Structure 1
């Protein structure tokens, strides 16, 4: 056992808090989950300026202003060396001594052109990434691991990472980590099984130093739902490469996803359970009547007398992120043409249904003009085109069937994406009385961010940060499991699984 690893394990077994560095951190979904599990965030690397500032505002708000501004700087992991980063964070001495856990989700877009040989090369020659910048984001992640010698690693990515250009990227990363002295496993987890009111499927990879002799990798589900068919289908597609490798006897790192059993687990948290205590936005709201920048400057008070469920209480009282009076980012998009369409849509309706409703309302409008004015505007006239533009969205319903979707109140939300930063039609509010898309704070709730967590605005960057994030409750479930391995304290096997990640 190396002296550095031995010292880290000794301090963790002595009860000192594990220290985590978040790469490709975004606004800090993983960081927040690990903090809630008792880890200390030493810093982050994030390229997007708004996300980097959000991370600093939440995790280093008590630091001196000068140091907080250092943490708030955006950084490119390609040009940032680990030892230089830690010096910027005022962590001097041996770089290997400051980080116990490295977490993050490096993008995989160029990785398929690199492959196993390049990963093994960087494990042996840390500057090898310079020879092939196409895939250097994953290579840089491994470079940080090699330089900082963490005791544990968490990596997250989309399901397609298991079959990207014919490569099982997770499998290949595990091979490289093995060569660096780690025992690695990966699987697929859905956030909805861990108390998140969102059906979000992701690949998670966990690795421990072999000296730990780790025995547990992934948390048991605490909640249950019968997932829609599409989620099962996407998992099967992503796992084709895994199954092929299993048949060939080559896969050594894949762990079957833990399957929730309805008996003994809590029901999944639904959209209405997640959002019903938030302020009502009606037709007279200034947000619906006026176009303009959506900033987070005004406190919107919680409704009086709301009877809170467990999830809502958790979102308002998350330690260090409490919100007792209300929220600042309950802002929505200005979409005057579409409010009337949203009101008529049924739960689960998508763009083809919305387009049909818009066409019906346009026809009603033409009939109203004919009745009131004695003529019907003719196709191609300025009046006809103006009225049509006021009612019918411009997208072809045959080409964009999934562009819109109205949420079901009694189901968890479908996956939130970074595209929320461009429009929010994928998550139309279930309450027809409000006839709108979800607000920034509602998106944050669906991702399980507490109400006291702040996002660097305005609206579009905040939506993008939320859509890109790992849900904090999902991250906490993983962090709890990792901490058990780091400290040597195993969970009580007789404990009700439904309680394992319930407390924050």
Structure 2
């Protein structure tokens, strides 16, 4: 069954749908580095199918350039990623590119979620524009235009909880109204990634729509018991300090049951992007203090509880949880795109390493497999990871949709 992924980001949703054997016809993404990451993932799957993953590894280890890598890949594989902003000016061109890729085949499913900065509570606090004045608020209209053109049987629309309250709920009400007018029954739920086996608490609005003439209903998802912790997830990763990275591509141990079950690592993987950002001395001291308190008292330290010489912000009344430890013996709190700005909210639980999370650790918390390479350097990688839908969650949503559509098409 054929899928279009809109506002695709680094490809968490499409990764999950691909695992359930959906055919990703096109990814549409405006960010240059996220689009390059999507293309790299397409290259990975092409070389996997051809039993030539050694070429992919040569690229990951910087033994061949991207130009050399691309020489092995047909253009139709690379062209699946459409790196363009969706707007009135570009929409027709994007449609033409999709039409060329689908080659008259029907589109069965559309997935994706417009950028959420104007909807998120934190984003609204930082945004100088009102929600209704922010052009990003209305990007959903292009999603609906794609529904009108391709008439998929089902679509999956993902966004942050804040979309429900934006402009006192009027924005979401309008989105639902336009989807109904487009000929779809819709239902939404707030789903948490931890209930899908992801080692992270991450709530998102998952709205599913289906053509009003088909027998379909919102899938029933039974919350899974959380078997694993951050310690299980990080078990095989080498010790690194702030500002360091692993360059020999080697793990410290074999694959444990957690990594196998969550599809994080397999026997052919090499360790890539286990890279931590550098930190100022004062931040490293704060990190140690936070981890100390967590280890001793199992509580998160508030900013105004730090020793006076470590408090440099004038604001000691709000944002008191600006430093946060990711606990070893539990799941993580939500990974968000702000991790690209600093690591204060994602302090590594090992006091000896004394740093924030590495790229690979953040990617694992989001359930990305170790073979997933994020292009563009450390900051771009963190932003892509923080914005993504966890592939494991996406896979289990795709599984239910596949079951329902298989019955419909039988």
Pairwise same-fold verdict (TM > 0.5): yes
Q: Aligned-pair distance for 1:271?
A: 1.5
Residue of structure 2 equivalent to 1:459? 378
Structure 2, unmatched stretches of 5+, are 47-71, 120-133
1:474 aligns with 2:393: yes
Q: How does 1:340-355 map to 2 (within 5 A)?
A: 340-345=285-290, 346-347=293-294, 348-352=299-303, 355=306
Residue of structure 2 equivalent to 1:421? 340
1:425 & 1:351 partners in 2: Cα distance? 12
Residue of structure 2 equivalent to 1:155? 157
1:219 & 1:195 partners in 2: Cα distance? 12
Q: Contact 1:70/1:88 (CA < 8 Å) preserved in 2?
A: no
Q: Structure 1 residues 196, 135: CA separation in 2 closer, same or farther (over 3 Å shift)?
A: closer
Q: Contact 1:21/1:101 (CA < 8 Å) preserved in 2?
A: yes
Q: Aligned-pair distance for 1:349?
A: 2.6
1:110 & 1:323 partners in 2: Cα distance? 42
Q: Structure 1 residues 88, 268: CA separation in 2 closer, same or farther (over 3 Å shift)?
A: same
Residue of structure 2 equivalent to 1:177? 179
3-state SS of 1:445 partner = helix
Residue of structure 2 equivalent to 1:328? 272
1:67 & 1:183 partners in 2: Cα distance? 34
Q: How does 1:253-272 map to 2 (within 5 A)?
A: 266-272=225-231
Normalised to the residue count of structure 1, the TM-score between the two structures is 0.65
3-state SS of 2:306 partner = helix
2:99 & 2:341 partners in 1: Cα distance? 33
Q: How does 1:90-489 map to 2 (within 5 A)?
A: 90-91=100-101, 94=104, 97-107=105-115, 135-222=137-224, 266-282=225-241, 287-288=243-244, 298-304=247-253, 306=254, 308-312=256-260, 314-317=262-265, 322=266, 324-337=268-281, 338-345=283-290, 346-347=293-294, 348-352=299-303, 355-356=306-307, 359=308, 392=310, 394-396=312-314, 397-488=316-407
1:472 & 1:170 partners in 2: Cα distance? 25
Q: Structure 1 residues 160, 21: CA separation in 2 closer, same or farther (over 3 Å shift)?
A: same
3-state SS of 1:481 partner = helix
Deviation string for 1:81-135 (max 9, x for gaps)?
Answer: 36744536742654xx442111111136679xxxxxxxxxxxxxxxxxxxx9675
1:433 & 1:109 partners in 2: Cα distance? 35
2:345 & 2:249 partners in 1: Cα distance? 25
Q: Aligned-pair distance for 1:176?
A: 2.0
3-state SS of 2:213 partner = helix
3-state SS of 1:327 partner = coil
3-state SS of 2:375 partner = coil
Q: Structure 1 residues 456, 354: CA separation in 2 closer, same or farther (over 3 Å shift)?
A: farther
Q: Structure 1 residues 458, 327: CA separation in 2 closer, same or farther (over 3 Å shift)?
A: same
2:102 & 2:364 partners in 1: Cα distance? 38
Residue of structure 2 equivalent to 1:54? 37
Q: Bigger radius of gyration, 1 or 2? A: 1
Q: Aligned-pair distance for 1:56?
A: 1.3
Q: Contact 1:159/1:188 (CA < 8 Å) preserved in 2?
A: yes
Q: Structure 1 residues 417, 133: CA separation in 2 closer, same or farther (over 3 Å shift)?
A: closer
2:149 & 2:81 partners in 1: Cα distance? 23
Q: Structure 1 residues 460, 215: CA separation in 2 closer, same or farther (over 3 Å shift)?
A: same
Q: Structure 1 residues 134, 488: CA separation in 2 closer, same or farther (over 3 Å shift)?
A: same
Structure 1, unmatched stretches of 5+, are 1-17, 112-131, 223-265, 289-293, 363-391, 491-504
Number of residue pairs the alignment of both structures matches:
360
Q: Structure 1 residues 82, 483: CA separation in 2 closer, same or farther (over 3 Å shift)?
A: farther
Q: Structure 1 residues 204, 161: CA separation in 2 closer, same or farther (over 3 Å shift)?
A: same
1:66 aligns with 2:78: no
Q: Structure 1 residues 147, 437: CA separation in 2 closer, same or farther (over 3 Å shift)?
A: same
Deviation string for 1:237-272 (max 9, x for gaps)?
Answer: xxxxxxxxxxxxxxxxxxxxxxxxxxxxx2353221
Q: Contact 2:332/2:365 (CA < 8 Å) preserved in 1?
A: yes
1:164 & 1:204 partners in 2: Cα distance? 16
Q: Contact 2:197/2:262 (CA < 8 Å) preserved in 1?
A: no
2:98 & 2:190 partners in 1: Cα distance? 36
Q: Contact 2:269/2:370 (CA < 8 Å) preserved in 1?
A: no
Q: Aligned-pair distance for 1:64?
A: 3.1
Normalised to the residue count of structure 2, the TM-score between the two structures is 0.79
